[in-house]
Structure 1
Amino acid sequence: MTSSYCLSSIRNTAFFHTSRICLQKDRLCVFSHCPGREFLTLKPQESFPKSSLSVLRLRGSGFRRPFAAFAEAEGEHVQDVVRAKELHHHHEGNAESDDDELPGMAKAFNISSGTASAVSVCIALAALVFPLFMGSLGQGLPFKTKALSYATLLFGFYMAWNIGANDVANAMGTSVGSGALSLRQAVLTAAVLEFSGALLMGTHVTSTMQKGILVANVFQGKDTLLFAGLLSSLAAAGTWLQVASYYGWPVSTTHCIVGSMVGFGLAYGGPGAVFWSSLARVTSSWVVSPLIGAIVSFLVYKCIRRFVYSARNPGQAAAAAAPIAVFLGVTGISFSAFPLSKTVSIALAQALACGAAGAIAVDRVIRKQLGHLLAKSAKADPEPKPETHPSKNIGFLSDIAGPTGTQLEIVYGVFGYMQILSACFMSFAHGGNDVSNAIGPLAAALSILQGGMSAAEIVIPNDVLAWGGFGIVAGLMMWGYRVIATIGKKITELTPTRGFAAEFAAASVVLGASKLGLPSQPLILWSAQ
Structure 2
Amino acid sequence: MSDSALYKDLKRISQIEDATHRLGAFKTAVGLGGLFLIGVLLFTLTLSGEGDRYWFVVLAGVIGGYMALNIGANDVANNVGPAVGSRALPMVGALVIAAVCEAAGAILAGGDVVSTISKGIVDPGRVPDADTFILAMMSSLLAAALWINLATFIGAPVSTTHAVVGGVMGAGLIAAGPDAVAWGTMQAIVASWVISPLLGGLVAGLFLTFIRAAIIRQPDRMAASRRWIPPLIGMLAASFTAYLIFKGLSHVWRPPLAVILVLGAAAGVATHMAMRPVVARASARLENRRKAVSSLFTLPLIFSAALLSFAHGANDVANAVGPLAAIVHAAQDGDIAAKVTLPLWVLVVGALGIAFGLCLFGPKLIRTVGEKITKLDQTRAFCVALSAAVTVLVASAFGLPVSSTHIAVGGVFGVGFLREYWSNAKLRARPDAEAAPLPAIAPPGVAADGTAVPAPPTHHKRRKAQKRRLVRRRHLQTIVAAWLITVPLSAVLAAGIFLGLRTLIAAS
| Structure 1 residues 364-411: Cα deviation after superposition (integer angstroms, max 9, x where no partner) | 5545555422xxx6xxxxxxxxxxxxxxxxxxxxxxxxxxxx422320
**Matched letter for residue 306 of structure 1:** A
- 1:522 corresponds to which of 405, 408, 416: 405
Task: Determine the structure 1 residue equivalent to 2:495.
Answer: none
Q: Give the Cα separation in 2 of the matches to 1:205 and 1:524.
A: 27
Would the alpha carbon gap of residues 322 and 446 (structure 1) be closer, same or farther in structure 2, given more than 3 Å must change? farther
1:100 aligns with 2:19: yes
- 2:240 corresponds to which of 325, 333, 338: 333
- Secondary structure of the residue aligned to 1:458 is strand
Q: Give the Cα separation in 2 of the matches to 1:435 and 1:496.
A: 28
1:318 aligns with 2:318: no
Greater CA drift, 86-95 or 452-461: 86-95
Task: Determine the structure 2 residue equivalent to 1:489.
Answer: 371
1:217 aligns with 2:125: yes
1:417 aligns with 2:299: yes
Would the alpha carbon gap of residues 189 and 142 (structure 1) be closer, same or farther in structure 2, given more than 3 Å must change? same
Residues 392 and 404 in structure 2, CA contact (< 8 A), matched pair in contact too: yes
- Secondary structure of the residue aligned to 1:449 is helix
Residues 162 and 238 in structure 1, CA contact (< 8 A), matched pair in contact too: yes
Residues 227 and 449 in structure 1, CA contact (< 8 A), matched pair in contact too: yes
How far residue 227 of structure 1 moved from its aligned partner, in angstroms, is 0.6
Residues 180 and 420 in structure 1, CA contact (< 8 A), matched pair in contact too: yes
- Secondary structure of the residue aligned to 1:179 is coil
Task: Determine the structure 1 residue equivalent to 2:333.
Answer: 451
Would the alpha carbon gap of residues 294 and 257 (structure 1) be closer, same or farther in structure 2, given more than 3 Å must change? same
RMSD: 3.4
Would the alpha carbon gap of residues 256 and 473 (structure 1) be closer, same or farther in structure 2, given more than 3 Å must change? same
Residues 83 and 302 in structure 2, CA contact (< 8 A), matched pair in contact too: yes
How far residue 507 of structure 1 moved from its aligned partner, in angstroms, is 3.0
Relative to the length of structure 2, the TM-score reads: 0.70
- 1:141 corresponds to which of 45, 49, 67: 49
Would the alpha carbon gap of residues 259 and 283 (structure 1) be closer, same or farther in structure 2, given more than 3 Å must change? same
- 2:78 corresponds to which of 139, 162, 170: 170
Would the alpha carbon gap of residues 204 and 284 (structure 1) be closer, same or farther in structure 2, given more than 3 Å must change? farther
Q: Give the Cα separation in 2 of the matches to 1:332 and 1:201.
A: 19
Would the alpha carbon gap of residues 499 and 347 (structure 1) be closer, same or farther in structure 2, given more than 3 Å must change? closer
Task: Determine the structure 2 residue equivalent to 1:187.
Answer: 95
Task: Determine the structure 2 residue equivalent to 1:464.
Answer: 346
1:232 aligns with 2:151: no
- 1:128 corresponds to which of 32, 38, 50: 38
Q: Give the Cα separation in 2 of the matches to 1:419 and 1:523.
A: 19
Task: Determine the structure 1 residue equivalent to 2:58.
Answer: 150
Task: Determine the structure 2 residue equivalent to 1:159.
Answer: 67
Residues 163 and 241 in structure 1, CA contact (< 8 A), matched pair in contact too: yes
1:355 aligns with 2:268: yes
Task: Determine the structure 1 residue equivalent to 2:170.
Answer: 263
Q: Give the Cα separation in 1 of the matches to 2:139 and 2:306.
A: 33
Aligned positions, number = 404
Task: Determine the structure 1 residue equivalent to 2:8.
Answer: 89
Identical-residue share of aligned pairs (%): 34
Relative to the length of structure 1, the TM-score reads: 0.67
Q: Give the Cα separation in 1 of the matches to 2:57 and 2:70.
A: 20
1:236-315 to structure 2, matched below 5 A, reads: 236-315=143-222
Structure having the larger proportion of residues in helix:
2
Greater CA drift, 146-155 or 203-212: 203-212
Residues 138 and 145 in structure 1, CA contact (< 8 A), matched pair in contact too: no
**Matched letter for residue 89 of structure 1:** K
- Secondary structure of the residue aligned to 1:494 is coil
Task: Determine the structure 2 residue equivalent to 1:505.
Answer: 387
Q: Give the Cα separation in 2 of the matches to 1:180 and 1:525.
A: 17
Q: Give the Cα separation in 2 of the matches to 1:201 and 1:370.
A: 38
Structure 1: give runs of 5+ residues left out of the alignment: 1-81, 107-112, 378-405
Residues 301 and 498 in structure 1, CA contact (< 8 A), matched pair in contact too: yes
Residues 426 and 504 in structure 1, CA contact (< 8 A), matched pair in contact too: no
Residues 123 and 181 in structure 2, CA contact (< 8 A), matched pair in contact too: yes
